[in-house]
Each structure stands twice: as C-alpha cells, then as structure tokens.
Amino acid sequence: MDHRNALTPEHLSRTIEDYFAERQAELLPSGDRTKDGKRFSWCGDVLEFLTDGLAERLATSGITFSKSFPGPFRLMDEEQLTGGNHIRRFWTIALHRGCPIARLCTYFFHRHDQVPLPQPPHVVAYPPDHPEPEAAE
C-alpha cells in the first residue's frame, strides 16, 4: 500500500474493494463455491470469504479497525430492494496506528433465497468524524 495515499478515506475504500475483487476471482462463476472446492451454505459465508484476510493484510500497513471488518450487523441496517434483493450496511472505523482515518460503510448485497451474491460488496469511506448512522437520521 502506498503510504502517501493510504491515509485518505477514498484510497482505503478502493484498497478494500480491490481486495474483494481478488477474493471474488477465487469463486466459481456459480458463486456458491471457490475454485479450490470450498462450498458456501448461505450468502453470509460468501461475505466472510471475501473479507477473510483483509484485516491481516491492512495491519501490515498499520491499518486496523475499531470493530472486526466489516463491522457488526444490526438488523435495522437491512433494507429490502426490488426483485428479492436485500442490502445490509456494516459500519466500522479504520485506524492508522490507533488514530481514526475513516468511517467505513460496507454495503452487502444479497438474497435470502440463494447463496451467490447479486453483486460484490461496495465500500464507502467517510471522514472519521462522519456521524454514526443513527445520528444522521
């Protein structure tokens, strides 16, 4: 990670999404298993697979998270979209050597009736002083 850019929220969100793309490349086109044979039983397993190893990779650059990435799930953060799709929002704060550098929102697109994700997770990074989701309403 280029340390000149690593401290901006935008660069951090791109870095995370690039990691998701690397992990996505390890999935079969069906989206319900990996190329090495690991099977997923529900959409949450796919999200866990996509995020697995991210914290360790970023830790080498001094980046950690206030809560495990992508952050705790809160039921109020799920919204039903058209066509049976749902979206959950996971929130956490990224820290660089203990100092907040971004508030991250990971959008997890999924369906309750299938394992494959309809689209990869999307990460939006805000300045660290961005209000908590409840405060913004």
The structure's pTM equals: 0.86
Name the 3-class secondary structure at 75.
helix
In this predicted structure, the answer to whether residue 44 has a pLDDT above a threshold of 70 is yes
Tell me what the mean pLDDT of segment 39-68 comes to.
94
What percent of the chain is modeled with pLDDT above 70?
90
Confidence of residue 15 (pLDDT cuts 50, 70, 90): very high
Give Cα 135 to chain centroid, integer Å: 22
